[in-house]
Every structure is written in structure tokens, then in C-alpha cells.
Amino acid sequence: MEVLACIKRVPDTGSRIVLTEDKQDIDTSNLGFTMSPHEECAVEAAIELTQSHGGTATALTLGPDEATEQVRTALAMQADEAVLLETDGSEWGAIDTAQAIAEHVRNRDEELDLLLFGNESADAGNYQVGVRVAHELDLPCVTGIKSLTVEDGTAIAKREVSGGSEVYEVELPAVISVKEGLNEPRYPSIRSKMAAQRHDVERSEPERTAAVGLEKIRLETPEQSEGSAEILGEGPEAVDNVMEVLSNDLEVL
Amino acid sequence: MILSLIEHEDGTPSDVSLQMLTLARDIAEQTDSSLAAIVFDDGDAVTDAVATQGVEDVYSVTHDRLDVYAPEAWAESVDQLVEELDPEAVLAAGTDRGHEVLAHVVARRDLPMAANCTEVDAGDAYEVTRQRWGGSLIEHARFDSGMPVLTTAAHEIAAEPATEAADVTTHDFTPTLDDDDFRVRVSRREESDAEGIPLGEARIVVGGGRGVGSSEDFDQLEELAELLGGTVGSSRAAVNEGWRPHDDQIGLTGAKIAPKLYVACGISGAVQHMVGCKGADNILAINTDPETSIIQKGEYAVIGDLHEVVPALNEAIRNGQ
């Protein structure tokens, strides 16, 4: 089966986010980049599915030349092919991104069985690229998936709901956007990382549509609460004070 | 008219839907519009709950094939109501369903969608304040054109009742749906065998991080959670170590919690984790490092080794009961 996992290059922000002076972007001068965590699971799923059913797992990203790094990470994880839809590095919205991905899929030689997306990108959190691509290609789409198997041309996908899971059985080809927890993405070996550096990356420059959208005015970091917690004590001796807080202040005992 | 999609379980609207109505009512007031709700299954069942939020009209969507959730059929129904009612704006809560259904609606109508909004300024152009990076960054954005469609960030807006309860009129609406709208539908439901209260609904959450040290040492946290009538969660570090399942993860790509009390044990408070627990009313951090981030952000702290503090606390609670 032919599986395409769509990923996004995002700044790796384990620490505090600092904005550029014009408040339009994150200052990445001291940050590395990574792929969104949900999408790492999409890549892993693409690899596992093609390893058990045969076929090709392709990783695709839309972004600047530097985003090659993220598709090479997917190759190092054992994806078979990689595609870069190269942009000038400016931020693309959900509509133009979806249109570019759909156009790439229409122009492919091989028809796809499954298109995997992260449920939402870590940075923009738009929650809609997968659905829009499905709409462009007239494919069924399930979002928010944390379990995925394929049997006899049908994807069996599960979404967590309160008290259990909803199970969807969708005929392929289909679009599925997944959440972290779907699987445990593998760590690439040094050897596979080196092989990934030598692997071809298919490139094209998508035409950006003049789509109506949501225009970013500026970014802001939320106010941090000043000061710090009330220290109730050190070690087990603090327990009396904790009991006091739990009983009287918070009334949870 | 401001049109809002209400999610409910057996007639009880979800908390996040009620929170969403606070923002929807704010937009209705700013634009001098009325407030209407779309309800699948049984509109009458939610009438009292939404009336207190100021909803005047409930559009109760029924169809003989809508016995289970089907995203495209829901989106088609919303789309048909939008066509008929020509609302000023459309909202849903930022849930899996809310995002999914409205994403289908905007894809059909070639409109933008703003996800996880917390504020709206409905002037000449709609300006929204929305969360990015799960809430560790805020974006101010403007709708270029067309009907604004947006979801609201969960647990960010209080579900405040309207000054006066509205007099609700329920309208039955039967959409025209065909086979294509049911390409995706819930085939069956599987009950979880996990015991206890789901993280997102828990009033007390006891979270453990790298400082817990092993899966066995989570037993102490389990006991504390049980004594407090809560549930256990964890940081991503503890999941990565294999000590807890991913379902327990609190954070950017895990559960978002909104308990009355979050007891954070051996958790440093990385940005991604804080995104998941910022809905907590109170954080009690137990940590050996007084400089750690969660102590700067929480309400209460005990400086010390959780392996000593938690058993002592468990004993004190047991003795007090």
C-alpha cells in the first residue's frame, strides 16, 4: 500500500518562547527544529503499515529548504521516500498548505491508499489541514485517531472518548489525522541517519494560492504569574501545613 | 444570529460547550445579534441548560440515519442550517468533534477557521485572540472576509450564565443527507477497561514526573489520588521512561486537565506540561528543587523528596479519616 505521512517543521521549544521584535514569529536563533509530535506518530504508522502490508511510506513536508532535515529524519526512521514542497520560509496557512498538498497528490504517478496527518501542528494548532486535503481530493477523513490498523482495504481507526473509544471503519483511500499515543516512534540508528543523508528528496515549488484566510496581526506570550508558590515547608515536616491547606483552604478533605 | 454547535451527553451539555456559549453570547452582544444553538439528537433535552446561557433558539437536528456520530453528516447538517439562517458567525467548542465538524464546514464553504479562540472583537473585521502551541503562545488574528467560523479553547473561558435566562424556542430541523455523508461514521463503541475518573474530568489530579523514578513508585501517587478521590496523571518524561501509559500524559499533546487541585510530584514544569495543567485552580508542587519552574507557577509547594513526603501525607490523610 502507498502511504503518505505529512509532517511540519516546527521550532523545538522545550524552554520559554521568545518572540521576534516585530512579534510575527518565534525567535529561533537559539532553537533547534523538529517535527510535530503527532506527526512523528504518523510517520511511524506509515512505516509500520507498509512494513506489514508492503508498499511505500513517503514523508512529505511543506516548508523552506531547511525542512529537508525533517523529511530526512523520517527517512532515517525507515520511510522509503521523501518529498519537500519548498517555500520561501514564510508561514503558510491551513488553506494554502492543504491546496498545495492536494495538488501534489493529484500529480503523483502512484495513487495513494492512505494520507496521514498530525491532528494539529504543534505550533499553529489549526486542526484542519487533513480535513481540507480530504475535501480537495474527495476522500473520507477521520481525525483525532489513537489506534489504527488496516485490514482488507479498510482502515480501522479508534478515537478516544469519555469512557472508551469510538471505532471507525473507513474504506481506503482515506485521510486520517492522528494523535500522539498512536504508537511509539522509533529512534533512528546512526547508520540509518547516515543513509538518510544520501537519500534523494523529491522537490517541487508549489504555487501559493491567494486564499482568503486568517491574517496574523501579532503574537504574544501569555502573562506569567509573578511571584511563586507559598512554601508549606520542607520534607515530611510540611505535612501538617499541607493537611491544613487541603482541609481549610481548598476543602478537598 | 450567532450559531453555536452544542455537544451533549443524554441532554447534559458538555462543560466546554457551555464555556463556548459565554464567548458566543459576548459576540451576540457586540453585534446586537441573537444567540442560537445547533443540537444533534434531542434539542428539547438541553433547553433549560442553554436558556441560562442566553440561547433563544435551539435548532434540533434529527434524521433517521443520524443515530451515531458521522462527521460529514454533521457538517452537512450545519452547512444546510448556515445556508438557511445566514448567521453572523459560527462557533463550536475546541473538542475533537468541534474542530472536526467545523473544519468540514469551512472546507466546503472555502472559509478560514480560527481554532482555540479565547476572545473576539467583532468590529468592522472580526479580530480574534487564539491559542497557539497549546496555549503557551497567543495569536491576534483577523478574518480577511466571509463568515467567521471559530472554536473556543477548552477550560479557558468561564461558563457564565446570562443576566437573564432566555425564553427558548426549539425548531426541528431535518437535513437532506445522502450516502456520501455517511462514508465516515462510528461503527461501534468500545468501553475502556481503565478504572477511575478520566483525567479531563477529575476534580483532583496527582501527577508524577521524572522525579518519581520508577513505575513502582507511582503506587504512592496512586494511593494519594485514591485518598483524595482523584486520578493519576504524568508528565511526558514519565511516559517516555515507560512508567505510565500515554493516556496518562498531561500536556501539549496529552490530556488537558482542569481540576480543583493538581498535586505535581517530581515534575519540573516544562512549557509543554504547563500547557496541559494550566486549567487547574490550584497547583501543589512537591519537589526537591525550590528553583524549579512549577514552583514559580504553582500556588503551594513542599520542598522535599516526594518519596518521603507523599507516604507521610498519605498516612496523615488516612489517620484523619
pLDDT tens for each residue of B26-70: 999 999 999 999 999 988 999 999 999 999 999 999 999 999 999
Asked whether the beta carbons of B154 and B256 are under 8 A apart, the reply is yes
- Residue B278 pLDDT greater than 90, yes or no: no
Residue A170: what pLDDT? 97
Best mutation target, A24, A128, A217, to test chain B (most B CBs within 10 A): A128
Please report the pLDDT score of residue B223 as a whole number.
97
> Which pLDDT band, with edges at 50, 70 and 90, does A227 fall under?
low
pLDDT score at B122: 96
Residue A225 has pLDDT above 70, yes or no: no
* Closest chain A CA to residue B249: A181
Partner A, chain B 35-94, Cβ-Cβ below 8 Å: 69, 71-72, 94
Contact B115 A125 (CB under 8 A): yes
Determine whether the interchain pair A166/B297 forms a contact, defined as Cβ–Cβ distance below 8 Å: no
**Any alpha helices (H) in chain A, and if so which ranges?**
37-53, 68-76, 94-107, 129-137, 190-198, 239-244
Write down the pLDDT at residue B212.
97
Position B287 scores a pLDDT of: 96
Residue B85 has pLDDT above 70, yes or no: yes
The arithmetic mean of pLDDT across residues B201-205, rounded, is: 94
Nearest to A169 among B103, B110, B187 (CB): B187
Assess whether pLDDT exceeds 80 at residue B17.
Answer: yes
Res B93 pLDDT > 90: yes
Of A167, A232, A250, the CB nearest to B189: A167
Tens digit of each residue's pLDDT (9 = 90 or more) over B209-231: 999 999 999 999 999 999 999 99
Torsion of CA A143, A149, A153, A156, to 10 degrees: -50
| Contact predicate A45/A155, CB 8 Å | no
| Strands A164-171, B35-40: pairing kind | unpaired
pLDDT for A212 equals 67
pLDDT at A13 (0 to 100): 80
Provide, as residue numbers in chain A, all residues whose Cβ is less than 8 Å from the Cβ of B71: 141-143
Q: Compute the nearest-CA separation of B20 from chain A (Å).
A: 17
What is the average pLDDT score of chain A? Answer: 95
Of A48-52, B67-71, B154-158, B217-221, give the lowest mean pLDDT range: B154-158
C-alpha cell of B176?
A: 437532506
B184/B196 Cα distance (integer angstroms): 31
Is the pLDDT at A154 greater than 70? The verdict is yes
Strand B12-13 to A56-63 pairing: unpaired
Mean pLDDT across B244-268? 93
Contacts of A166 in chain B (CB under 8 A): 69, 186, 189
* Nearest residue of chain B to residue A93 (CA atoms): B112
Q: Is the pLDDT of residue B196 over 80?
A: no
**Which residues of chain A neighbour B9 with C-beta distances below 8 Å?**
162
The C-alpha cell of A166 is what? 469510538
Is pLDDT of B21 > 80?
Answer: yes
Q: A67-98 pLDDT, tens per residue?
A: 999 999 999 999 999 999 999 999 899 999 99
Residues in chain A within 8 Å Cβ distance of B69: 166
Please judge whether B191 and A164 are an interchain contact, meaning their C-beta atoms are less than 8 angstroms apart.
yes
> What's the mean pLDDT in A157-185?
95
Say what the pLDDT of residue A190 is.
96
Measured CA to CA, the distance from residue B93 to residue B118 in angstroms comes to 11
Geometric angle at alpha carbon A234, from A228 and A239, rounded to 5°:
100
* pLDDT tens per residue across span B171-194: 999 999 999 999 999 999 999 877
Cα distances (angstroms) measured from residue A128 to each of A9, A121, A132, A142, B231: 17, 10, 6, 11, 32
Interface of B with A in 97-126 (CB under 8 A): 99-100, 103-104, 106-108, 110-116
Establish if B270 touches chain A: CB-CB under 8 angstroms. yes
